[in-house]
Structure 1
Amino acid sequence: MMNKSIEIIIAGRRQRRRRWIVVTTSLAALLFVLCCAMLLLGNTIYPVKDVMLALLGYELKGVSFAVNSIRLPRMLAGFFAGIAFGIGGNTFQTMLRNPLANPNVIGITTGSSAAAVFCIVILHTSESIVSIASIIAGLATVLFIYLFSKGKSFSIGRIILVGIGIQAMLNAAISYILLVGAQQDIPSALRWLTGSLNGAQMHELPPLVIFVVIFAPIIILLGKHLSILELGEQSATSLGLNTDKTRIILIISAVFILALATATTGPIAFVAFLAGPIAKRLVGVGFSNVIPAGLVGANLVLASDLIGQFAFDVRYPVGIITGIIGAPYLIYLLIRMNQKGEL
C-alpha cells in the first residue's frame, strides 16, 4: 500500500514536471516568434534574409538603419523589461502571498517613476542619472514601506495598505512635478509615464541588460526558497529557512531589475501584476514559477507593443494596451477576493 502511494506521488511529480517543461518551452517559442515579428514588421516589411544580413553587420540601404537603429533596440527593450517586470512582480506576489502585492499597487515602481520624472522634468539629467535615481528611489520606497508597516510581527495586509498609501503620495508628487515643470518637457514625461518602447536606443539598454542578467538568475536560484516563503512565516522558519535573509536578497534583486526596467521603458501598466498569476495558471503548482513569469512578462510586452503598432489606425504606446488588458482582470480579481472574504 505504501509503495503504491509512493508511486502515485512520483507519477504526479513527473506529470507536473512535464507540464512545467511543456509550458515553459511553449512560452519561450512564442517569445522567439514575437521577437522575430518585432524585427520583421514595420512601415516596410523586409525579407528574413535581409533582416539577418543587417543583424550580421552587412550594410543594406534602408534595412540596416530600420533594423539596427529602430527595431532591434525596441525589441530588446521590450524583451528585457518584460522579463524584469514579470519576475519582479511574481517575486513580490509570491513572497507576500497576495496577487495584489505587486510593485505597481504597493508603490515600488511609482517610487522609481517619481524619481525618474523629477530627473527628466526638473533636473534634465542624462539617462544614466535617471537609472541611478530610479534604483535609489525604488529601494527607498521599499525601506519606507517596511518601516511604516513594521509592527510586532510580519503582516502582509499592513504592508499592502501602507504601500497603497505611499503610492498615492508618490502619484501626487508626480502630478505636482508635471504641474510646475516646463511645458516642453511635459509631453516626453507623460509618454514615459504611460510606458512605451518608442525611441528606445541601444546605448540606453546596457544597464537594464546587465542588471537583468545579474539579478534575475539570483531570483531564479532562490525560486525554491520563494515557494517556501509562500507557505507563511512559521512554516518557512520550521523548514529551516532564514526568512529575513532570503527576503532581503529577493527584495533587493527584484527592486534593482524593476527600477532599471521602469527607468528604461517607463512603468508599463499591469505587466508585473498579470505575469505571475498567468504563469501560475499555466504551469500549476509544484515547481518554481519564476522563469515562466519572466517569459509571460516578455510575451505580454512584445505582443501588446505589436498590437499597439499595427492593430489600430493610430499607434498606441505599449502601456495603453497592457492597461486595457490588465484593468478588467484587476476588477475581476477584486470581486473574486471579496467573495472569498480575503478583502
Structure 2
Amino acid sequence: MSTRTDLDPPRRLPEPSTLRLGPWRVLASWRGALVTLALACCAVLIVFATLGTGPLPVNPSEVLDTVLRRTDEFDFVVLDIGLPRACVALLVGAGLGAAGSLLQALTRNPLGSPDVIGFDSGAAAGALVAMLTLGVSDRTETAVFAIAGGGVAALVVFLLSSGARDTGYRIILIGIGLGALLDSVSAYLLTRSGVRESMEATRWLVGSLNSSDWPDVIVAGLGLLILLPAAIALGRQLRLVLLGPEVASALGVRLGFVTGATLAVSVALSAVAVLAAGPISFVALAAPQLAARLVGQRRMPSVVASAAMGSLLLTASDLIGSRAFGDSDLPVGVITGGVGGVYLAWLLSREWRRRM
C-alpha cells in the first residue's frame, strides 16, 4: 500500500484567504480564526472541568479568585497541583499540534509527525541510555538525554533524505525504518535491566502530566513563545512546497533551507514537549488533520489551528485519564496512545479504501 494520501500536491495553488486586522493583513480566514478561537475556548473549558471534578473540586469562580489572589483558601489545589498541570497540557498540546502541522505539510502526508520520523523513538532510546546505562535519575537530565537522542534521529533522517527528488516521501520511509531500529534498541535495554529500573523507565516513556509544576510551565511557555512564530512563518513557505519541488523552486523557495528549518523547528517543538511532560504520542499525528478538516484547508498547513486542536486533545485526554477510571490517575500518554491507535487504524483503512 502506498503511503501517499490526499495531501499530495494539488494541481494549482489554492487562492489565498486574507484576514484584515486593522492595518495588518494575515494569511488566514474568518472561518479559520473562528475555529481556532472555538478550539481554544473548548480547551479552557475542559481545564475548568478538570479542576472542578477532582477529589478536591474547585468551581470556576474559586479558580479565578485564587489566580487573581482574592483568596488563598485553594492555593494548594489550584496553584500547586491543578493549574500547573493544566497549563502544561495546554502548552505541550499546542507545541505538538504545531510540530505535526509542519511535518505533514513538508512530507505532504498525514503520517508525517514526530512519532513517525523517528524523533519519539530516538528520544525513548536516549532516555533509556541515560536511565539504564548511565544511572541518571533526575527527570530534567533524563529529558535532556531524550532530546539529544531525538535530535540525532531527526538529523539522520534529514541527512539520508536530502537530495531526493521527493524529499517528503523519503522522510516518511526513512523515519519509519529508523524508528523500528531504535525501538529494538530500547527493547534490548529494557530486557537487560532490572525489574525496578525497567518499571521506572517505562513510567517515564509513557508521557505524563502527573508531576507537572510551574518550572515545566515556564519551559513549555518560553519554548512555544520562541518557536511558534517561526512555525507560522514556515507555514507560509510550506504552502508553496505543497505544489511540488519544481514549482516551489521556480517560485523562489529554497527547498533545502525550508526542509532543514522545518525539521529543526518541529523537532524543537517536540523537544520542548518531551522536556515538560515526556514523550506523548499521536497528538502531533491527529491534531493537524482534525484541524484542517474544521478549517477547510486540507491542503495547507494550519499551524495555529493545529496548535489549538493539540491543546484540546491533550487536555481532554488528561481529563479522561484522571477522572474516568476511579481512583486510578492514568498517565495522559496511555489515553493518547489508545485514541491515537484507533485514529491511525481509521486513517490507514480510509487510505486503503481510496486505493481500491
TM-score, scaled relative to structure 2: 0.85
Letter of the 2:347 counterpart: L
Instruction: Name the stretch that deviates more: 91-100 or 145-154.
Output: 145-154
Alignment match of 1:259 (pick from 263, 267, 271): 271
Residues 228, 236 of structure 1: 8 Å contact kept = yes
Letter of the 1:136 counterpart: A
Structure whose residues are more often helix by fraction: 1
- Secondary structure at the residue paired with 1:189? helix
Distance 1:93 1:35 in 2: 28
- Secondary structure at the residue paired with 2:114? coil
Q: CA deviation at 1:308?
A: 1.4
Aligned residues: 332
| 1:231 is aligned to 2:281 | no
Alignment match of 2:329 (pick from 315, 319, 322): 315
Q: CA deviation at 1:186?
A: 2.6
Distance 2:30 2:200 in 1: 46
Instruction: Name the stretch that deviates more: 242-251 or 81-90.
Output: 242-251
| 1:70 is aligned to 2:81 | yes
Q: CA deviation at 1:185?
A: 2.9
Identity %: 32
Instruction: Name the stretch that deviates more: 94-103 or 149-158.
Output: 149-158
Distance 1:337 1:11 in 2: 28
Name the structure 2 match of 1:295.
308
Q: CA deviation at 1:302?
A: 0.3
- CA RMSD, Structure 1 to Structure 2 (Å): 2.5
Distance 1:86 1:279 in 2: 9
Q: CA deviation at 1:301?
A: 0.4
Gaps spanning 5+ residues in structure 2: where?
1-13, 20-27
| 1:326 is aligned to 2:340 | yes
Name the structure 1 match of 2:151.
139
Q: CA deviation at 1:34?
A: 1.9
User: Which aligned pairs between 1:332-343 and structure 2 lie closer than 5 A?
Assistant: 332-341=346-355
Instruction: Name the stretch that deviates more: 122-131 or 264-273.
Output: 122-131
Q: CA distance change for structure 1 residues 315 and 126 in 2, over 3 Å: closer, same or farther?
A: closer
User: Which aligned pairs between 1:99-248 and structure 2 lie closer than 5 A?
Assistant: 99-122=110-133, 123-150=135-162, 152-248=164-260
Letter of the 1:296 counterpart: M
Letter of the 1:290 counterpart: V
Instruction: Name the stretch that deviates more: 152-161 or 192-201.
Output: 152-161
Gaps spanning 5+ residues in structure 1: where?
1-8
- Secondary structure at the residue paired with 1:340? helix
Q: CA distance change for structure 1 residues 68 and 194 in 2, over 3 Å: closer, same or farther?
A: same
Displacement over 6 Å in runs of 4+? 9-14
Instruction: Name the stretch that deviates more: 116-125 or 209-218.
Output: 116-125
Distance 1:146 1:126 in 2: 30
| 1:276 is aligned to 2:281 | no
Q: CA distance change for structure 1 residues 96 and 67 in 2, over 3 Å: closer, same or farther?
A: same
